[in-house]
Homo-oligomer: A and B are copies of this chain.
Amino acid sequence: KYSQLKVLDSNKGTTQTNQGVLTSKDAFEESFVRHVETTLARNMYNCDNLAAYQATSNTIRDALLIDWANTQQKQTIQDGKRVYYLSLEFLMGRAMDNALINLNSRDNTKSSLTELGFNLEDVLEQEPDAALGNGGLGRLAACFVDSLSSKNYSGWGYGLNYQYGIFKQKIVDGYQIETPDYWLKYSNPWEIMRNEIQIPVDFYGYVYEDHDPNTGKAKKIWAGGERVLAVAADFPIPGFNTDNTNNLRLWNAKPTNEFDFTKFNAGDYQQSVAAQQRAESITSVLYPNDNFESGKELRLKQQYFWVSASLHDIVRRFKKNHKNNWNKFADQIAIQLNDTHPTLAIVELQRIFVDLEGLEWDKAWEIVTKVFAYTNHTVMSEALEKWPVDLLGRLLPRHLEIIYDINFNFLSDVEKKFPGDRDLLGRVSVIEENHPKSVRMASLAIVGSHKVNGVAELHSELIKTTIFKDFVKVFGKDKFTNVTNGITPRRWLRQANPKLAALIAEKLNDPNYEYLTNLGSLKKLEQFVNDDEFLKRWDSIKFDNKVKLANLIKETTNIEVDPTVLFDVQVKRIHEYKRQQLNIFAVIYRYLRIKELLSQGVSVEEIKLKHYISKASIFGGKAAPGYYMAKTIIHLINKVGDVVNNDPEIGNLLKVVFVPDYNVSKAEIITPGSDLSNHISTAGTEASGTSNMKFALNGGLIIGTVDGANVEITREIGEENIFLFGNLAESVEELRHKHIFEGVHISETLAKVFSAIESGIFGNPDEYRALIDGIRYHGDYYLVSDDFDLFLQAHTKLEKVFGHHGGDANDTDHLHKWVKKSVLSVANMGFFSSDRCIDEYAEDIWNIEPLSQ
């Protein structure tokens, strides 16, 4: 039987189809029981929700594998160009519901589980978040792999399979406490351990020169050192409404059993075991930093481990089909670098070509620069990655040599083009001649790539005029481009907001939800914008989602919020540039003002009508554990909440909530449940933002600065449907200059907030000293003082639009003003599908076509 087949070529798909368990209750249930009894070694009589989750996910996983294997076969046979997306973070969240939706198996699974005595929602809740990312950068990568599959591209992700995800945040006495997220406590059914795919990765050691015995050519040998195995764990990524199922390959570090004389000569068995155990630590921890680098050796080890394993895997796959036909390499392979973290991939590929495959340097470099493209995510120079030459040279001695050679060749070209401009040479050099002497990863990424893109129009313009100005001069402006970020509507609409997705499908007469892969169709919603019945249904879905959010708040904080009030949300990483401090200062001002009015005898009802409508200010997000200022902001938010929420006079007029441990699963509840969301970064600091897109796609309105993707959202949905405020990016430099040389002007309103804080009503004012002093005395780098009153005004304006929604289901004023804007937002958000981004990357940067299905 198979003995004959074994001699055939290995590029075959499977012998099975997956239709059974996806569409038949009997097949599902049979598989479910089999997994309970064998895979889990439990029995049906004591099968709890956790076991049900495991049995269900194993059943779905089996089905997914069929598509996955067939996709690999198809990709191999069609042998088109592939793209590899290298990202140090993939913030995937939960996998099961996404798989059920993309495989169109949610209904069969739900009813099968019901027959077996389980509730799908409870079962879904058992899955831990795959929290392998800090924030936007990692979530972007997750949306991109979803779109690559859904749009039928041949595109894989490569990352690391961290044992510990981003820390879990607890709030204790108002402070953020970080606890480790050991998410793999139960085995992960979505991870396919590929123990047969093992790639050795070396560190340390030394370089010597040898001569090729055949050609006599000198060649560099990297020898000695420490060896670790990269073992593949594959995560199948199903596309929506297609069988195309790409692969996300995350590497695990494992000890090698190979015999290392240099290590064992010492004869210390305990030491050698310890060295093996250390190997695994390479993939144990995701660094919990967002937009700043900690410069730890282990981080650099992670980066090299990951890119080395990935590159060798990519080259191996290429050679299987194309042997040593290197001329075809750049026609077959595109590699996208998500931020500078994978920049060593450029060096590693050059090393593979020159040292291992024997190509000439120039030939190799020509291929390398055609293969790579680099996505920049920040203009903040403090967030640009650098590595000390000493550290890099000790860890990767051969790579440092190659970096120097790359830089020498590059600078020679610059010198030819701009003879004698030594300042220019110093500014564009890959090596920063400083203490410590460092390698500038962004410069290396630019030099080694054929395209560099920003992630929103404003951001892409800014990098060309600020941090990368000199490179534009050297390479010309065509090397620099823009691809505005996007989000996957499968997770962020269909999965997070099933009722709204269903209403849209109904109105678009699209029972198969095809609009989810063709998001421009949302435009058709505009025709219903004057249909009151439609607006009411729309509003009532929002209300249901707000109830769900209110329940989450009650569960996690024990605070009760009334779902009829305005839900004013800011959830994202806590960072000074994102300006949660601006938001909480405004909340404090609102509280003080309400108290003042009350003390003047104004009634609560009157306050609601004339001054402030009822609202809940909802915050969420993690601060990097070492980021003192961000942690201070969290503390202040929580302390303000303690005071406001326990003030009996205030009642529903104002609640202040900090939802702990914001993550993807919580975002799936918070996003659809918001009326308004804050995207209020100092202009010019937020590269794009993607949560703004998520909120708008779910019918929430935005209050925001003219920053990042807010600009394009405004263009798409119309200025009248977004609440913009604040100074513009072009004024930032000047304002900062003025702050330093002319002082910071604290408005009367902000001064009231500061003195309230300093009065101690939110606890020991010393704890907030750095926050206030940073604005008052240290130059207010993030322009809080400049934007504060503008922010308050924007709120006054938007509250008028929201109206007095509380309790009145027939508030047509609210419907015609607020809800209409909500519909028009959604109708015009089609542009922000990550499918559109991927198409742009495919066409402008990668030059790849979808697979024929």
Contacts and interface: CB of A to CB of B under 8 A. Distances in A.
A15 interface: yes
Contacts of A51: 196
Interface string A1-17: 11111101111111110
B44 A2 contact: yes
A704 interface: no
Contact of A116 (B3, B15, B255, B284): B3
Contact of A43 (B12, B170, B177): B12
Contacts of A193: 187
A113 to B, nearest CB: 10
B37 A15 contact: yes
Contacts of A20: none
A731 interface: no
Interface in A1-49: 1-6, 8-16, 29, 33-34, 37-38, 41-48
B6 A269 contact: no
Contact of A178 (B1, B185, B187, B269): B269
Interface string A398-441: 00000000000000000000000000000000000000000000
A558 interface: no
A41 B68 contact: yes
Interface string A278-289: 000100110010
Interface in A701-728: none
Interface in A250-289: 254-255, 257, 259, 261, 264, 267, 269-270, 272-273, 276-277, 281, 284-285, 288
A65 B45 contact: no
Nearest to A62: B38
B284 A196 contact: no
Given A69-B41, A115-B3, A281-B277, A186 B195 contact: yes
A45 to B, nearest CB: 4
A1 B29 contact: yes
B194 A276 contact: no
Given A69-B37, A187-B195, A167 B45 contact: no
Contacts of A393: none
Contact of A272 (B12, B16, B178, B270): B178
Contacts of A115: 1-3
Contacts of A46: 10
A170 B41 CA distance: 38
Residue of A38, A172, A180, A181 with highest tally of chain B CB at under 10 A: A38
Contact of A255 (B172, B182, B267, B270): B182
A852 interface: no
Nearest to A177: B264
A117 B3 contact: yes
Copies in the complex: 2
**Interface bin, chain A:** 35 or more
Nearest to A285: B273
A625 interface: yes
Nearest to A257: B182
A643 interface: no
Given A38-B65, A277-B284, A288-B269, A9 B257 contact: no
Contacts of A95: none
Contact of A41 (B65, B281, B288): B65
B179 A5 contact: no
A546 interface: no
A422 to B, nearest CB: 42
A16 B41 CA distance: 12
A38 B13 contact: no
A41 B194 contact: yes
Interface in A155-210: 164, 167-168, 170, 172, 177-182, 185-187, 192-196
A8 B45 contact: yes
B273 A164 contact: yes
Contact of A259 (B179, B192, B269): B179
A272 B192 CA distance: 29
Contact of A10 (B12, B45, B117, B186): B45
A61 interface: yes
Contacts of A792: none
Contacts of A37: 14-16, 65-66, 69
Contacts of A2: 29, 33, 44, 47, 115-117
Contacts of A13: 43
Nearest to A261: B172
A686 interface: no
A788 B154 CA distance: 74
Nearest to A9: B45
B264 A179 contact: yes
Given A44-B15, A179-B264, A269 B167 contact: yes
Contacts of A29: 1-2
Nearest to A32: B2
A625 B182 contact: no
A234 interface: yes
A842 interface: no
Contacts of A607: none
A160 to B, nearest CB: 15
A51 B194 CA distance: 11
Nearest to A229: B185
Interface string A440-473: 0000000000000000000000000000000000
A50 interface: yes
A181 B656 CA distance: 56
Contacts of A47: 2, 6
Contacts of A48: 196
Interface in A770-792: none
A652 B273 CA distance: 41
A87 to B, nearest CB: 22
Nearest to A39: B39
Nearest to A175: B267
Contacts of A6: 44-45, 47, 117
Nearest to A260: B179
Contacts of A38: 61-62, 65
A33 B62 contact: no
A16 B44 CA distance: 11
A245 B167 CA distance: 42
Given A45-B8, A257-B185, A1 B269 contact: no
Given A12-B43, A38-B61, 8 more contacts: A10-B46, A11-B45, A164-B273, A180-B272, A181-B257, A182-B257, A267-B625, A270-B625
6 contacts: A2-B115, A5-B45, A14-B37, A178-B269, A179-B264, A180-B276
**10 pairs of A and B residues whose beta carbons are closest in the complex:** A3-B117, A269-B625, A10-B46, A178-B269, A38-B62, A41-B192, A12-B45, A186-B195, A180-B273, A180-B276
